[in-house]
Amino acid sequence: MKKNLILCASLALLTFAACKQTPKEDYGWLKKGIDAASYQMKFTTEEIADSGKLPRSIWTGYDMDFLCRQLDKDPAMFKDSLRIIPTQKIGQRRFCSSIHDWTSGFFPGSLWYTYELTGDSYYKDQAIKYTNMLNPVKNYKGTHDLGFMMYCSYGNAERLAPNDTVPPALIQTADNLIGRFNPTIGCIRSWDFGTWNFPVIIDNMMNLDLLFYASRQTGDPKYKNIAITHANTTLKNHFRPDASSYHLVSYNNDGTVERKQTHQGKNDDSSWARGQAWAIYGYTSCYRETKDTTYLNFAERVADLIMTRVKTDDLIPLWDYDAPDSPETPRDASAAAIVASAMLEMSTMAADGQKYFDYAEKILKSLSSDTYLAKDGENQGFILMHSTGSLPNGSEIDTPLNYADYYYLEALKRYMDLKGISYKDLK
């Protein structure tokens, strides 16, 4: 009898210990984020139905004194670059200027991710509708942003609803993108405006996924080779010794550097928050596609820079790491979402991946809080608040951005995949 009592007591203790050691993880913040996103995406599609337009942000104005404080400049030094917003537009939903707007692919892409996250076919139908709107972009040659425009829309369609029309559209787009490549310089040209001879911006790293896809799809290495050459040239010239990135490098025709700038940041020597995000995301993708550890090692350097330089408690960075640390300085939720998505992928590659996963998780919890996550039916239907587009140009300051929503949803999906959970597990 005594033996049996001891055995029962031991089993009870073991059972209690096992229960104590495996508490159920609280995913309330995750469900909240997905539910808010799906509500906002449905709200938006119903509001803009049959408009033929793609949401981009909300129109915002600016105060000249505020800009001077943020940039530490006299108004005369940057007033010519400012975009005057008509008063009647302020607070209204801002649409993409056309399907050739560099942000046009993000809204369809967000619909694809909402469908993937929830399994609700409503979002699939809407994603198909808005993706099809971009079909003419496959013929467009006037920008480097073709990866943003077509791979975020058609690329997700290829994953989630493949059909025979998608690969040809993406390959044709890739052909147009490599048409902007200069072999002497070793880069794909970014902008066709301005006084630069051959401008290349760090954002251009985000268009390389389209080229990697085209090589996989066709078996032709030319696309991948151009992507690698562009990545290597950018690695050589875009970064400072601490791994922070200039926004823009312009090249002379012989491949030498004409000048280096931070066009959308505080000044040429500052670290523009979204520029650092593009860098970590781009080089993580390059490692995924090539398995060249040069790219992973560098992505880790950029990640460590971000983790050192971002001083905010919630890890949502100021719009520029060198911006004034004051209550009026805008955050950039878009930069945070991009970093979270990149770090989640990098966490599966790096030897010390857990620290990147934990950092990304904290970002996502912050973005899913009331501070950044919009209430249902507010924020003109966008998911996240408090992003910054181009402050030196007085454009999209402290406002939602469609690409903040896109990378937030992508990061949520990557997080759930790594955790091995689905939306139904959250109910």
Annotated catalytic residues are 145, 203
Nearest to 342 by CA among 421, 384, 382, 286: 286
Q: Which residues pair with 201 in a beta bridge?
A: 248
Q: Find the angle CA(359)-CA(315)-CA(242) to the nearest 5 degrees.
A: 80
Q: Find the angle CA(202)-CA(207)-CA(210) to the nearest 5 degrees.
A: 160
User: Cα–chain-centroid distance for residue 427?
Assistant: 28
User: Both tokens of residue 239?
Assistant: 């970064």
Please name the residues in contact with 24: beta carbons below 8 A apart, sequence gap of 6 or more: none
Q: Find the angle CA(260)-CA(386)-CA(315) to the nearest 5 degrees.
A: 75
Burial class of 179 by CB neighbour count within 10 A (0 to 12, 13 to 18, 19+): exposed
User: Both tokens of residue 281?
Assistant: 């995301």
Question: What values do phi and psi take at 317, rounded to 5?
Answer: -75, 160
Please name the residues in contact with 10: beta carbons below 8 A apart, sequence gap of 6 or more: none
Count of other CB atoms within 10 angstroms of residue 420:
7
